[in-house]
Structure 1
Amino acid sequence: MANVTRRLKVPDSVRIHRYQSLPELAPSVLFFSGGSALNKISRELKRYTHHSVHLVTPFDSGGSSAKLRQAFSMPAVGDLRSRIMALADETVLGQPDVYELFRYRLSQEATAQQLEQELAQLADGSHPLMQAIVTPMKALIKTQLACLCKHLPEGFDLRGASVGNLIIAGGYLGHQQLLDPIIFLFSRLVKTLGQVTTIVDETHHLGVRLDSGEVILGQHLMTGKEHPPLQRPIAEIWLNQGLEAECPISAYLAEDRSQSIEQADLICYPPGSFFTSLMANLLVSGVAQAIVANPNPKVYLPNLGTDPEQLGWSLIARIECILTKLLGSPELNLHTPVLNWVLLDLDYDYGAIDPVRLAKWGISVVRTPLIKDKPERYDERLVVEALLSFA
């Protein structure tokens, strides 16, 4: 087998022009992610490639997804739905009426009776948002919502509920409590320009141990969004069975997910909550082996600003954490690479970086403009063009 190398240029204007001209033939970029941090980048990405793959964590325990998880003992679907919507075809070739329905939320102020009536109108097709949808698609959506209504517990809180989440939940209940069939259908209905799926179709939760020894169970207690930020650094993370007691549990990568990882033209560890979005994906058995089996570039794009989960974790420590989780030791990355490049903005201060130490691990640093305006956040176009230059 021959090894082919090329000179890396970031951004590579020739490649970028080629991909933008023919996104149907552009490379596949695989992301290990969760949450909404990648949604704006995903919305830009679909202009360059229709072959991105998004492996999303289903372990969230907060927001509107939490109500559905508690009612039906199901995986979290909110992040799946929001990523599918970010990748939906928003041109005239897409399905704008379906798109509007899936992004609609029920009122926070309406009474329980009013919300139940609106849900019934959605399920029977008489709701204004449903009337605009053509018959074959309308029938499919009505089926999922009817299944949800049939199983919805008495007194279920519908305030602020995402209709997209409700449709997915109904499909989950109507497809032998499997997410993959309804996610496939949901994606086809909005003509998703990419592939979105869970890393595993499981109902597990997340557990962490702080450096003080305290154990926290539930993603919603870790992110610093719905609850006060953690006061001590996270020392360990695992998949947990339920939220009642510490009970580590294993999850195993399905063959189709493994093939997606092994065959991607580029693997990206993207911005987002470091532990509950990125590291949570890497907890699944089989992920490390699939990454190792892929000979193509692997890139880490760190967060900007303050991630409450990163308390006490420098950039070099986070890189070491990824390598240790996947390989057992960062030194092994030199000969069995799961990470080749760290992509950084040209001027942003990420803290102390040790290029010599990274080189010993087989990792190179690439700096290029990724931030355009204040307050400092990644510019979606600059990020996408930089990433695709590696592919």
Structure 2
Amino acid sequence: MPTVTISHTVTLPDPVKIARYLKAPELGPRVLFFSGGSALRDLSRELVRYTHNSVHLITPFDSGGSSAKLRATFNMLAVGDLRNRLMALADRTLHGNPQIYDLFAHRLPKDLPQDDLKARLDALVDGSDPLVGAVPDPMRKIIRSHLKFFRKAMEGTNFNLRGASIGNLILAGGFFNYNRQIDPVIYMFTMLVKARGTVRPIINKDLTLVSEMADGTLLAGQHLLTGKETGPITQPVKRVYLSKSQKDLRPVEVNVRRKVKELIRSAELVCYPMGSFYSSLLANLLPKGVGDAVSKAQCPKVFVPNPAGDPEQFGLGLGDSVRRLLEALRASCVKPRPTQSLLNFVLLDKGRGYQAPLALNQIEAMGIKVIEADLASTANAPYFDERAVIELLLSVA
């Protein structure tokens, strides 16, 4: 079939487009986000009002909290961010979904003995715990079955249940049930909670995110870079890469999966969103082939940078962030790709401060258009207004 390229001018935000999407979100655009943790949780909840066809590629390298314990014990990818995004996209009006959300969000106490926590897990498995008892069938039976698989896998290990996320345990149980494949588990829960979008890990492998700092020091694990458990970094990041484990820090090359390439290539808008710059955004671009797939997507590509304050961007100005993003995309390409095929727009809040040097003239000299708009939230400062960001992005699509 013949194809043509059409250029046109749009109003930002475009009230006609937005009204159309709000009226029929099931026909909304395929907006793809390279995302990781919680920065897009609230945006994703709002996004389902506009489109049911968004795609969320999630980093599976989380090495902190409940996910860290699962990964250390079972040599598996992190499932916590996958769980968060599925629940953010779930149809809250569906019968039983509020109870499912409560169950998935619940964490076991941190101050109880392991034997008491095992007894609590057993109650969840047999259905006598009120949290799982509140979930209607058939979801209750599926959840209990997955928890039973996890309970069996836990036997003979030193897995500590203190503070464990029940949602993570459910997904882990499904992972073991499906021969250590996460996609069937995601698909099942997408159908059951009517998640209004597609969620996939960028790769289905147990790998470690390594950060090489300016002085050559290596930080093995996402948790050391984010600073949530160890305090913020005190020098700039030189580069990030993937390694086999937290002990073997030699770089490994991994290829993005064919099905993920297809999701990227079919996008109607590619968004590099706000969030932890290295551990959430750039980590998603490390597998080989991501940049090639982006370049082949015949759609706009938009970067929504963090305002000043992201601890991972120590010493990194706005212009530097744009250059680092392009470097990461090009590094994941098999062959050279022009800038215009990888990044077209940088969306800024005109009232917020960004870390200097801004280098706006240099950004535009690369053929990248800088768009300044009102993105700040008056009700939830200093964060962005999710609705404003969504409506601007969808107007570009």
TM-score in terms of structure 2 length: 0.94
Residue of 363, 368, 372 corresponding to 1:367: 372
Residue of 299, 304, 321 corresponding to 1:301: 304
Residue of 123, 126, 134 corresponding to 2:125: 123
Aligned 1:196-211 pairs, distance under 5 A: 196-211=199-214
SS at 2:226 equivalent: coil
- Aligned partner of 1:142 in structure 2 is 144
For 1:281 and 1:342, the matched residues in 2 are separated by: 19
Deviation at 1:335, TM superposition (A): 5.9
Deviation at 1:168, TM superposition (A): 0.5
Deviation at 1:202, TM superposition (A): 0.4
TM-score in terms of structure 1 length: 0.95
- Aligned partner of 1:383 in structure 2 is 389
SS at 1:192 equivalent: coil
Q: Is the 8 A contact 2:96 2:135 kept in 1?
A: no
- Aligned partner of 1:35 in structure 2 is 37
Q: Does 1:66 align with 2:65?
A: no
Q: Does 1:338 align with 2:342?
A: yes
Count of residue pairs brought into register by the alignment: 389
Q: Is the 8 A contact 2:318 2:359 kept in 1?
A: no
Aligned 1:40-189 pairs, distance under 5 A: 40-92=42-94, 95-152=97-154, 153-189=156-192
- Aligned partner of 1:283 in structure 2 is 286
| Counterpart amino acid of residue 305 in structure 2 | P
Q: Is the 8 A contact 1:304 1:377 kept in 2?
A: no
Listed as ranges, the gaps of 5+ residues in structure 1 are none
RMSD: 1.7
Q: Is the 8 A contact 2:307 2:353 kept in 1?
A: no
Summarize deviations over 1:320-364 as a string: whole Å, max 9, x none.
Answer: 1111222269xx775652000000112112134333322231100
Summarize deviations over 1:156-185 as a string: whole Å, max 9, x none.
Answer: 221221111000011111111111111111
Q: Does 1:266 align with 2:269?
A: yes
- Aligned partner of 1:223 in structure 2 is 226
Q: Percent identity?
A: 44
| Counterpart amino acid of residue 387 in structure 1 | L
Q: Is the 8 A contact 1:148 1:169 kept in 2?
A: yes
Deviation at 1:155, TM superposition (A): 4.4
| Counterpart amino acid of residue 353 in structure 1 | L
For 1:230 and 1:147, the matched residues in 2 are separated by: 39
| Counterpart amino acid of residue 396 in structure 2 | F
Deviation at 1:62, TM superposition (A): 0.6
Q: Is the 8 A contact 1:230 1:308 kept in 2?
A: yes
Deviation at 1:97, TM superposition (A): 2.5
SS at 2:39 equivalent: coil
For 1:50 and 1:299, the matched residues in 2 are separated by: 20
| Counterpart amino acid of residue 200 in structure 2 | T
Q: Is the 8 A contact 1:355 1:364 kept in 2?
A: no
Listed as ranges, the gaps of 5+ residues in structure 2 are none
Deviation at 1:277, TM superposition (A): 0.7
Residue of 347, 353, 357 corresponding to 1:349: 353
